[in-house]
Structure 1
Amino acid sequence: MTTTMHQGPKHIIGIVGWSGSGKTTLLSDLIPVLTERGYTVSTMKHTHHDFDMDRPGKDSYRHREAGAKEVLLTSRKRWALLHELRDEPEYEIDALIAQMAAVDILLIEGFKSHKYPKIEVNRPSRGKDLLCLTDDSVVAVATDDRFDGVGVVQIDLNDVEAVADYIVSYLRLEA
């Protein structure tokens, strides 16, 4: 089977917010809603923590530890490419996006400071500052209550269909 890679996603929108606000839950709920509507969806998650998808003792782990720059794991159900940065700086988001397959929508969790369009998840009960007040790339706030004086669209955080509707409308996707 041949697939074309590295064309990148057609549309990008981020889900941002403070830790514990519900970003991951919203993203996990949005994916099946958007895919049921016929859109192909990929995700990208930024973490500030060191992470490792591999496990000590596995062949791929041993390959990386031996100094391999990349290790590609493949099976009949999925494949994953592990790329070791070694002493290189962290890749820029645009370089990472360029590595992704062509899909209709790329949902990004994190990368708050990048200037792609974003939906902020914010619950007033948590007492966290609104990012949209200082970040003009935030195009909407998904919230479980209303904020006064916010200059962007507010969407009910608990209505995933409404959030999906907003994304489809904002990105001007065809039905």
Structure 2
Amino acid sequence: MKPDLSRWPKPVIALAGFSGSGKTTLLCQVLEIISHQGIRVGVIKHSHHDVELDKPGKDSYRLTHSGATQMLLSSPQMSVLFSKQTNHDDLDSQLQRLCWDELDLVIVEGYRHSDVPKLEIHRPELEKPLLAASDPWVFAIATNQPLEQTQLPLWPLNQPQIIADNILALCLKNTQKNNK
């Protein structure tokens, strides 16, 4: 079954898997391949930990901690939006924050319980269950070993070029379908 990527303005897929499966490593490799083709990729990374990106004493830190609900720090090289939130597990609200007109594709790392098309990253040696066994949103599995317990397409985890090509083929097909 091909995932329907027409729910958002641009294709959105997630790389989902258990901790230690290699999601970030694979995402970095795939991003490098895709971005060199001129594709503008947005990334949303899920974290269960508190992250402090701003330094105490800096103006942006002071403004955020003085009560700003949102504070955008803009420099010649980058802008960063600091925004207070109450439910970081809601992927749809995170997707709404993106500047869609500046993107061709969004890849989400994590949010494995969300209703978004997912490429499962699975390493049998971790002895974790397949997410695909109970998640209808998984459309393929990137793995480093053969799997017999699924009918889903298996993509070679250690060959990021093949995974990038498959992601682009899937997203371009959906984009062309939506433009008709």
Runs of 4+ off more than 2 Å: 88-92
The answer for the alignment partner of 1:46 in structure 2 is 46
Residue 63 of structure 1, CA deviation: 1.2
Residue 9 of structure 1, CA deviation: 5.1
The answer for the alignment partner of 2:59 in structure 1 is 59
TM-superposition CA deviations, 1:45-89 (whole Å, max 9, x none): 01111111111121111111211111111110000110123xx44
Q: Output aligned runs, 1:1-175, within 5 Å.
A: 10-85=10-85, 88-90=86-88, 92-102=90-100, 103-171=103-171, 172=173
For the aligned residue pairs, the C-alpha RMSD in angstroms reads 1.6
Residue 149 of structure 1, CA deviation: 2.3
**Any stretches of 5+ residues in structure 2 without a counterpart?**
1-7
Q: Distance in 1 between matches of 2:125 and 2:90?
A: 34
| TM-score, length basis structure 1 | 0.88
Does the 8 Å contact 2:88/2:94 carry over to 1?
A: no
Structure 1 residues 142 and 89: CA distance shift in structure 2, 3 A: closer
SS of equivalent residue, structure 1 residue 67: coil
Does the 8 Å contact 2:89/2:111 carry over to 1?
A: no
Give the helix-richer structure, 1 or 2: 2
**Any stretches of 5+ residues in structure 1 without a counterpart?**
1-7
Q: Distance in 2 between matches of 1:35 and 1:140?
A: 22
Does the 8 Å contact 1:120/1:140 carry over to 2?
A: yes
| TM-score, length basis structure 2 | 0.86
Q: Distance in 2 between matches of 1:136 and 1:62?
A: 45
TM-superposition CA deviations, 1:87-116 (whole Å, max 9, x none): x44473212212202211100001111111
Residue 36 of structure 1, CA deviation: 1.7
